[in-house]
Amino acid sequence: MPNKLEICNLEHKYGAIQSLKGVSLEVNENEIVALIGANGAGKTTLLRCISGILKPSKGEIRFEGKSIAGLPAYKVAKYGIAQVLESRHVFPKLTVMENIEMGAFLKKDNQRMQSDIEKWFEVFPRLKERIWQTAGTLSGGEQEMLAMVRGLISNPKLLILDEPSMGLAPIFIDEIFNIIPRLQKMGTTILLVEQNASMALAIADRGYVMETGNITLTDTGRRLLNNDKVRKMYLGEE
């Protein structure tokens, strides 16, 4: 099962607060899977458990059949899982190029890194024009793109995106949501967490709805978009 992520009955607690109550979810090779849910549903907690920032209290996380639950973040990264964090976390005083090089810390071969940078610049030409600009002076959308390239530079098998549209102008939201399916076509498997449910479900092969620490609904992206409950609760329809 190449590139397959399997999460079974995952639980997590912040002290006495149970934030994940037995979550099961799968991402198959080369899928885009969207995870949607209201504020506080537990989406970020789930992503942090996958990438090793938080430790689950129970349950299993497997990638390509191997257990990764509870491993530290640097080991999870070595399995080929990259996470682009919600708040982007670019280094504001470093240039675009320096930020990208920071993401390539796992890579030793300099020539290979240069050709990888060129490959991702073709997808993100806006960044290529700005390689010497400091990241703090980029627009929000450009910073999101930089965070994505930094995650992609190690050619991850699974890319996890946490709210890539957050705080962006509509034009950048459109641009990011055009780019994500291109990344899929280039062979990347993607788990996408989004408040913007309509755009996420429109590009997702499958989706999951999360409510207060549980997965309450799962289906194809298209069917979830047409689901009455999803339309009322997450798409703002009456």
| Interacting residues toward ligand ATP by CB under 6 A | 14, 17, 19, 37, 39-45
Q: How far is the CB of 82 from ligand ATP (least distance, A)?
A: 19
Distance between first and last Cα of the chain: 41
Residue found by looking up tokens 């806006």 in the block: 126
Contact 74, 154 (CB under 8 A): no
Q: How far is the CB of 21 from ligand ATP (least distance, A)?
A: 11
Contact 59, 8 (CB under 8 A): yes
Query: Looking at beta carbons only, is 43 or 150 nearer to ligand ATP?
Result: 43
Q: What is the 3-state secondary structure (H, E, C) of 119-141?
A: HHHHHCHHHHCCCCCEHHHCCHH
Please count the helices (runs of H) and the strands (runs of E) in the chain: 10, 10
Query: Looking at beta carbons only, is 19 or 143 nearer to ligand ATP?
Result: 19
Alpha-helix residue ranges (DSSP H) falling in the chain: 43-51, 73-78, 96-103, 110-123, 125-128, 140-152, 170-185, 197-203, 221-225, 228-234
Query: Looking at beta carbons only, is 47 or 149 nearer to ligand ATP?
Result: 47
Query: Looking at beta carbons only, is 31 or 162 nearer to ligand ATP?
Result: 162
Query: Looking at beta carbons only, is 43 or 130 nearer to ligand ATP?
Result: 43
Q: How far is the CB of 218 from ligand ATP (least distance, A)?
A: 16
Q: How far is the CB of 26 from ligand ATP (least distance, A)?
A: 19
Query: Looking at beta carbons only, is 14 or 105 nearer to ligand ATP?
Result: 14
Tokens of 23: 């979550």
DSSP 157: S
Contact 94, 170 (CB under 8 A): no
Q: How far is the CB of 128 from ligand ATP (least distance, A)?
A: 31
d(CA 122, CA 125): 5
Q: How far is the CB of 166 from ligand ATP (least distance, A)?
A: 9
